Amino acid sequence: MKDKRPGPRAQTKVEVQPEPSNVVELVPGIYQLRGEKPGSHVYLIKGATKNVLIDTGVAVKFSVLKRQLAEPGLRIRDVNLIILTHEHYDHIGATAFFHRTAVVAAHRLAANKLELQDEFVTFRKYRDQPGKPFWVDVWLEDGSMIDLGNYELQVIHTPGHTSGCICLYEPRAGLLFTGDTVFAGGTLSEIAVGGNVSDYVNSVRRLSNLKIRQIYPGHGKVSSTPDEDLPKAIVYAQTMLDDCKTFFEAFIKTRRLQDKLGSAFGYWTQPRDKEK
Ligand SMILES: [Zn+2]
């Protein structure tokens, strides 16, 4: 059989592959600037007259974000509006770099925490992330609308992951920017400080009533199957709620058993009110 091994010349040939772009134009004028860990994705919407960023990632990746913006031909001062999907450090970190020239908007329940630099909620110091303070110029409410001419963004308050979470819905193109509320496949986030499960259930139920063609989440892949993903998200949210009940039932049973064992072996147990 003929030897098919490459000759010495072929072996030394090095093919230079171009670096894959981390900026993707999803629909005309809307770009995903892929996030580098630990930062979130950033979305750029080139409006008819104004440019919008949804989230800004982390401060340490600002130089990457600057390069990403340059691909569709933008400089920092060309960004007119920043909308923050919620108050977590991995979505807000580079906002201060734009604040001199861009208006910053967030839901009022996120805005309050950001202005007071509530580290208990943003996790910035906990994750040892740098970041400059900024304030929120526009406090959004559920139902607020941002008209960009070629696109419009409707604010949907979706508490659950945190209290200040919003999704942004573009009804004509059927696009939903979800931050950390729902990911591809219907996956949900954890319940972080300030969030709660029952609000999460309601939030995903509300989203499932919208006509959506694509989900643009803060992390992971874009989804083109929202009709499959959102029903799954409702089931996941309801499961979280049911798991809480199961957990506390098991916890109470175990605690009663511990009390009995503790007294049998002479351990000191915390006196508590008589339980039924
Ligand atoms: Zn988050």
Q: Is residue 72 in some structural domain?
A: yes
Residues in CB range of 135: below 8 A, 6 or more apart: 99, 104, 114, 115
> Would you state the pLDDT for residue 245?
78
Q: Is residue 180 in some structural domain?
A: yes
For residue 195 the two structure tokens come to 């969030």
The CA 211 to ligand 1 mean position distance, Å, reads: 24
Tell me the three state secondary structure of residue 31: strand
Number of domains in the chain: 1
CA dihedral 141, 146, 152, 157 (to 10 degrees): -10
Q: Is residue 270 in some structural domain?
A: no
The CA 37 to ligand 1 mean position distance, Å, reads: 13
Domain coverage including residue 152: 24-264
The CA 113 to ligand 1 mean position distance, Å, reads: 14
Q: Is residue 69 in some structural domain?
A: yes
- The neighbour count for residue 217, using CB atoms within 10 Å, is 27
Tell me the three state secondary structure of residue 169: strand
Q: Is residue 276 in some structural domain?
A: no
The CA 157 to ligand 1 mean position distance, Å, reads: 14
CATH number reported for the structural domain that contains residue 230 in this entry: 3.60.15.10
The CA 41 to ligand 1 mean position distance, Å, reads: 12
The CA 88 to ligand 1 mean position distance, Å, reads: 5
Measure the CA–CA gap between 120 and 15, rounded to whole angstroms. 49
The CA 160 to ligand 1 mean position distance, Å, reads: 10
Measure the CA–CA gap between 215 and 174, rounded to whole angstroms. 9
* pLDDT lower than 50: segments of the chain: 1-3, 10-11, 267-268, 274-276
Q: Is residue 232 in some structural domain?
A: yes
> Would you state the pLDDT for residue 243?
84
- Reported as a single tens digit per residue, the pLDDT across 9-33 is 544 555 656 556 699 999 999 999 9
pTM for the model: 0.83
Q: Is residue 13 in some structural domain?
A: no
The CA radius of gyration of the chain, in Å to the nearest whole number, is: 24
Q: Is residue 73 in some structural domain?
A: yes
